[in-house]
Structure 1
């Protein structure tokens, strides 16, 4: 048994777990929240996911990808979107409160970037951004990261919930290029009180937006035969984008993909 005080052990499952407390809960859209925690050091790798158990749903575990790389000071961040018919994800988005204690376990996944390898193409739909942002911040810890191109997509500009953060990252990391993609240039007519409440001055300019699906926009660039390619988003977005990458000549061994 480990003597590390940061690690607890669930004797019923014989699986290590770690605890963290919610310190911030930002509901950015009607169906999306960014949740920040501080607690035990969790030994995952940037790009992996972890199992999460929250106090509102004891005994129920959901898998999310941290949006920050591992931190010895125990800082973690999750981007959670309500899944249609998913009352657990909806409850996390709506009911999480500062002071809630989360139980984290079972890091897994092989969604990785070689910091000494070829240029990187990242393709993120919605909260599929989280593990890719973690990878970007991990790359920033290296002295000479490869040129990295992040395609971040949504249905409308309102879906690009992390525009302010990505604009700041793009300005501060000379090797990072952010490409915002939307299927339509106008937001829906119905209001989103959370979007209005958290509207900020920093974000993507309308002239920066490229219209189309992520699959179409990425496919227009041709083959990425000499790139590390990572795709993360909804199952439909991931499937269509990977298919387009293969159709345009990107070798399958160059592509890593995860559903969000």
Structure 2
């Protein structure tokens, strides 16, 4: 069977960190579900598709958003972060993945490391269309406060959605952040819109999240680097969360 592809055009490219950008596109509607990932091909590397998770739920007007971080030796990811320009035409294909929430089910615990936030944000925004969504607890982690690249967006969402609680987790609260001209530029222009320091929990996600449960009657979603996903899942199971309640998606 021939693989179906859809075309989308870049309309915005926002560099948030030296190694991270948000890319927004408009094109043909792609029939994915919130929480799934797709294969993306950029024109400069037509034979090197990369797996990315939309950060917006599907829409009839064809809007897409991706959060892209460079990886060591990653030609495609580095190009997307550093050189994407409006007008670039991307090919989208192969929606897949099992990260999902039962909107009529029990309380949801989401664990997001880095750009693993993207599919979880898509699910959260999708739940805003549900009359009575379940309570959602979102743990979002980074090495330092600077790594919490979506603090402003999460702060706004948490104020607007009474069923959403966001818990920011950093490995080192007081440690110095790396020099990053893009982060400094954003702070200089608009100032920090962040969670208060008292809201921060210190440690890795694998350490902090299991301290809040066993999540015996919960829907648990974990998304991030393979190492984070594996260690968090193992610690959750070790502290009593049923393995069958955990859905994971390494990015």
TM class by shorter-chain length?
A: over 0.9
The Cα of 1:250 is off from its aligned counterpart by 0.4
| Range with bigger deviation, 229-238 or 51-60 | 51-60
The answer to which of 183-192 and 79-88 deviates more is 183-192
Equivalents in 1 of 2:103, 2:223: separation in Å? Answer: 19
**Alignment length (residue pairs):** 248
Q: Secondary structure at the match of 2:220?
A: strand
Instruction: Provide the aligned C-alpha RMSD in A.
Output: 1.1
Q: What residue in structure 2 maps to residue 88 of structure 1?
A: 76
- Does the CA contact (< 8 Å) of 1:52 and 1:104 recur in 2? yes
Asked if structure 2 preserves the Cα contact closer than 8 Å seen for 1:122 and 1:149, the reply is yes
Determine the structure 2 residue equivalent to 1:253: 244
- Give the CA deviation at 1:213: 0.7
Q: Distance in 1 between matches of 2:3 and 2:178?
A: 46
C-alpha distance in 2, partners of 1:198/1:72? Answer: 32
Could you tell me the TM-score, scaled by structure 1's length?
0.93
Secondary structure of the residue aligned to 1:50 is strand
* 8 Å contact from structure 2 (residues 146, 177) kept in 1: no
- 1:144-163 equivalence runs, <5 A: 144-163=132-151
The whole-number CA distance in structure 1 between the counterparts of 2:48 and 2:176 is 34
Superposition deviation, residue 59 in structure 1: 1.9
CA–CA separation in structure 2 for the residues paired with 1:129 and 1:187: 23
Distance 1:187 1:103, change over 3 A: farther
Change (3 A) 1:112 1:74: same
- Say whether residues 1:238 and 2:226 are aligned partners: no
From the superposition, tell whether residues 116 and 194 of structure 1 become closer, same or farther in structure 2 (CA, over 3 Å).
same
Mapping for residues 156-175 of structure 1, pairs under 5 Å: 156-175=144-163
Contact 2:144 2:177 in 1 (8 A): no
Task: Write the distance in 2 (CA, Å) between the matches of 1:184 and 1:141.
Answer: 36
Aligned to 1:203: 194
Q: How does 1:7-156 map to 2 (within 5 A)?
A: 14-156=2-144
SS where residue 165 of structure 2 aligns?
A: strand
Cα shift at 1:190: 3.8
Q: Distance in 2 between matches of 1:56 and 1:105?
A: 17
Q: Pick closer, same or farther for the CA change 1:215–1:189 going to 2, 3 Å.
A: closer
Aligned to 2:213: 222
Indicate if the aligned counterparts of 1:153 and 1:181 stay in contact, CA closer than 8 A. yes
- Kept after mapping to 2: 8 A contact 1:32/1:79: yes
**Which ranges in structure 2 are unaligned for 5 or more consecutive residues?**
none
Deviation at 1:206, TM superposition (A): 1.5
Moved over 3 A (4+): 186-190
